Structure 1
Amino acid sequence: MRVRRISTALGSAAALALALTACGTADVGGDGGGDGGEGNGGGDTITIGVKYDQPGLGLLEGSAPVGFDVDVATYIAGELGYSPDQIQWEEAASANREAFLQQGTVDMVVATYSITDERRQVVDFAGPYYVAQQDILTQADNTDINGPDDLADKTLCSASGSRSANNIVDSEDEGGLGIDAELREAGNYSECLELLGNGTVDAVTTDNTILAGFAAQNPDQYRVVNAPFGEEQYGVGLPAGSTERCEEVNAAITKMWEEGEATEFLEAAFGDTDFSYEENTPELGACA
């Protein structure tokens, strides 16, 4: 397994500048999900749900979101026959991703959307397009928390709709680490950062990609403890019954990695952070 580590000074301005040059400038929002057609440039659109509040992954900058997930979504849409100006972006928070797919608000979700058996009961997944690991973010001057075991008796924040905190506090029988931390749920990870900054919580836990983006924006205020554990497979969420579309998206993901585009997207998003990322094609799951 090959891992690329970039070890340079954290700099949010450079990271965001790179992301801006790498991402498309499609319209934000729209009139709901597209028609799911072939998108052959004849006026059809595709609506894709992404995050708007996660630096390096999906962050609204001006009139369009930018980041690794946005680049991946734009590439996949291109392979499906949609040009960047045929993409309509929709903000997909962790708590509404399943509902958006079930209600037809979006055609697909590319929003650090971890593939789980529970979610597979209601939506389909293509991918994964990336495999992240979970980590912990603390205030920069906090030297007491250096791994999951140090979270005992501490207050831990995670976003609504995310299972990251449960991976720490759930018992081992439930698939967690069984650590006795107090949970504080916020609407999204930006709110968690506010709570961390004012001392309401001691730490934030989620995928290392998400935490690296936040740390890059405020390197003097926050630090990633760099004690990764677990595994989060980022999938492309699709409406239930999308077997054919799933296969098309998997083909696009394979091509994206084989041609080196995925690595370029990662470099653009995280090249100015001390973040280790995979450079191998993830093992794709079968489309049901």
Structure 2
Amino acid sequence: MTHRILILGGTTEARQLAGKLTRREGFSVTLSLAGRTESPVAQGVPVRTGGFGGAGGLAAYLREEHVHLLIDATHPYAARISANAAEAAQQAGVPILALRRPGWEPVAGDRWTLVDSVVEAAQALGAASRRVFLAIGRQEAGVFEAAPQHRYLIRSVDPVEPELAVLDAAYLLARGPFPEADERALLEKYGIDAVVSKNSGGDATYGKIAAARALGIEVIIVRRPPLPDIRSAETVDQLAAIVDHFFEPVAERGV
């Protein structure tokens, strides 16, 4: 029997998991991407691009494609997609697992200001003009038009369009990973005195956090949103092991 697995992706771990599972005999893996990135990294497995039309649309897809397992390996801040995934799995009667990388934790020397949203992050910058590094991607950069007194350095994979209606903004197009040494050089070059970041977790984008610590720069961290309470793992290997066990014949489980 071929086990059909749909992975909701958009993260490095999703791509790695898809590659690992597709090499398993008896697994047919499809990776779903929301399509928000104009030039996504090659995935190496069959890819479906675009939304499903909410939980109902995803549930219909799961039934029509006879999916045996749904895996939510989306970004930690894709709360709406994760909620839709959990609801769709329930509607379709399909098991669901999640791959959730752990968030960063502050260590000695960090100057973190924790906020609950990007809107609060803009407010937390204060009234006085600052040199701000926005490392939150392009989707919510426009929120900072409400704080036009600051000078912004904005990094994203795809261009911010339209550009921010502020007096001073510079734009960098780049895709991680971003080593600490490079991040430190960037912060120094632009005279940055505040970094705005989501708590994405992982090593690929931690360099800016470590660099800010070394330079004594404040980092405004947007807390993670609440996610559905479903069975999850923190690493690709852990989740792959769960999937292997999930599809083991009952007799092999000692039942």
Q: Normalising TM by the smaller chain, what interval?
A: 0.3 to 0.5
Structure scoring higher RCO (CA < 8 A, sep ≥ 6) equals 1
TM-score normalised to the size of structure 2?
0.38
Q: Indicate the structure with greater strand content.
A: 1
- Higher Rg: 2
